[in-house]
Amino acid sequence: MNILVVGSGGREHSICWLIKKSPIVKKLYCLPGNAGIDEIAICLPEEDPANDSIIKICKKLNIELVVIGPEAYLANGLADALLKEKIKVFGPNKSASLLESSKSFTKDLCLKNNIPTAKYKTFSQKSNAKKYLEKQKYPIVIKADGLASGKGVIIAKSIKESFIAIDQLFDGKYGDAGKTIVIEEFLEGIEASFFAISDGNVIKPFSTAQDYKRAYDNNEGPNTGGMGAFSPARNIDKDLEKKIMNLIISPTFNALKDKGITYKGILYAGLMIKDNSPKLIEYNVRFGDPECQVILPRLKSDIVSIMIAVCDGKLDEIKIEWLEISSLIVIMATKGYPNKYPLNTTINGLENIISKESIIFHSGTKLVNKEIKSNGGRVLGITSLASTLDIAREKSYKSIEKISWPNGFYRKDIGNF
Ligand code: AMP
Ligand code: GLY
């Protein structure tokens, strides 16, 4: 089977890395990919991200399965367009993607179905939002309703900070994503990333991870896409997994069904857990990045068979098995990220990392005259697998020391808490 993976991050690198191991894959393509993906798949230049152009490519290359990584393509209806052309696609359709592309859609769905989440209110007028904020307790959380590349969430510690956030959102800092905003209660507890997988008929758990979102050590600094992760999460045992499925995931899946929306693909719930009680922070309709880079290396079953079963509505016939190991990733980002940072800085020493020790997943790199150059904020991820989390952590940090990249930085405390 010819397979196309859409995206260019570390998540897509790990998806390609695992697909490549499957006996089912004939030719593996990635659109557009990066320098790391280029070593294992045929990378295609992304001349035009429109659905029509991607379909043309699929037809030309006899692509039988498309795996969509980033949310933007899903929110733009790429899955719907592919299905219309009878091309198998792993990733939900546009209506199901509302779970990520509209926070108010998700919050309303939670409220109607008693799904535990932070109390909230939605606003589309600045003055009303400010009036409301004058009477609230702090900290409080302010969110752009639409997609804002993980940056549209502000935790305001005071009324002054909340007003600055409101001004920025309504004055267009996140474009149309901030035209409507959600203001919600600040939840305390420990966060975890919970993944489920569905073929439209059934929904099953698909492992867990803990993500480190802040830029600097001790969870300080601005929020990022994720600076490191490990899997499985420490705080989710079998009982809690059942509780999460019963209280959050299955009611969401059923509520979508009631609305006539079929969910197929990965459903990623960002959770806050306190006293063994989970609350939903947000949904994503895709794998997390960097969670994917620690979850997929633990998968024992064939990924392509699972993806095909999802497309064909036959997930019930498939057993999803995991290796009994821990995995951990440390992300290397360009100094300055998540704010302004330079591109095209040179990275050396990747060849010194032994594959038995760690896997290098490229997030934002490109090959220029045989040199690896940085091409984004998050640039590399070093994943290690081991019998314990401590050993996996040690392996990743040892491997990182072999990389020479003066413009890069990374957190030193991934997996410590
Ligand atoms: P989101 O994009 O909704 O995942 O939010 C990004 C990050 O902001 C989350 O991973 C949390 O760390 C934090 N966050 C979002 N909503 C809340 C909340 N209601 N209470 C506490 N922290 C939150
Ligand atoms: N690591 C968080 C995300 O992928 O949204």
Q: Which two tokens stand for residue 167?
A: 């001004």
Pairing of strands 181-185, 153-156: unpaired
Question: Residue 416 falls within a domain, yes or no?
Answer: no
Question: Residue 213 falls within a domain, yes or no?
Answer: yes
Closest listed residue to residue 334, CA positions, set 404, 399, 406: 406
**Is the CB of residue 55 less than 8 Å from the CB of residue 399?**
no
Pairing of strands 120-123, 181-185: antiparallel
Residue 57 DSSP code: H
**What are the tens digits of pLDDT across the range 234-273?**
989 999 999 999 999 999 999 999 999 999 999 999 999 9
pLDDT of residue 222: 87
Based on the domain organization, do 233 and 169 belong to the same domain? no
Based on the domain organization, do 217 and 313 belong to the same domain? yes
Q: Name the average pLDDT for the chain.
A: 96
Question: What is the mean predicted confidence (pLDDT) over 129-141?
Answer: 96
Distance (Å, whole) CA 98 – CA 103: 8
**What are the tens digits of pLDDT across the range 327-346?**
999 999 999 999 999 999 99
Longest dimension (CA), the chain: 60
> Which residue's CA is the closest to the ligand 1 atom numbered 9?
281
Give the DSSP per-residue string, 96-112: TTHHHH-HHHHHHHHHH
Based on the domain organization, do 88 and 127 belong to the same domain? no
Question: Is this model's pTM higher than 0.85 or not?
Answer: yes
Distance (Å, whole) CA 39 – CA 288: 23
Length of the chain: 417
Nearest atom within ligand 1 for CA of residue 211: 10
- The CATH number of the domain holding residue 285 is 3.30.470.20
Question: Residue 415 falls within a domain, yes or no?
Answer: no
Question: Residue 283 falls within a domain, yes or no?
Answer: yes
pLDDT of residue 150: 65
pLDDT of residue 176: 79
Number of domains in the chain: 4
Q: Which of 100, 210, 211, 266 to mutate to test the pocket of ligand 2 (most atoms within 8 A of CB)?
A: 211
pLDDT of residue 148: 74
- The CATH number of the domain holding residue 371 is 3.90.600.10
**Angle ∠(299,208,413) on CA atoms, nearest 5:** 105
**What are the tens digits of pLDDT across the range 182-232?**
999 999 999 999 999 999 999 999 999 999 999 999 999 988 999 999 999
pLDDT of residue 146: 84
- Which of these three, 254, 284, 317, is where a domain ends? 317
Q: Which two tokens stand for residue 273?
A: 């857990």
- Enclosing domain of residue 155: 120-185
Based on the domain organization, do 306 and 208 belong to the same domain? yes
Question: What is the mean predicted confidence (pLDDT) over 348-366?
Answer: 96
Based on the domain organization, do 65 and 153 belong to the same domain? no
What ligand is nearest to the CA atom of residue 291?
Answer: 2
Residues with CB under 6 A from ligand 1: 118, 141, 150, 153, 184, 186-187, 191, 213, 223, 270, 281-282
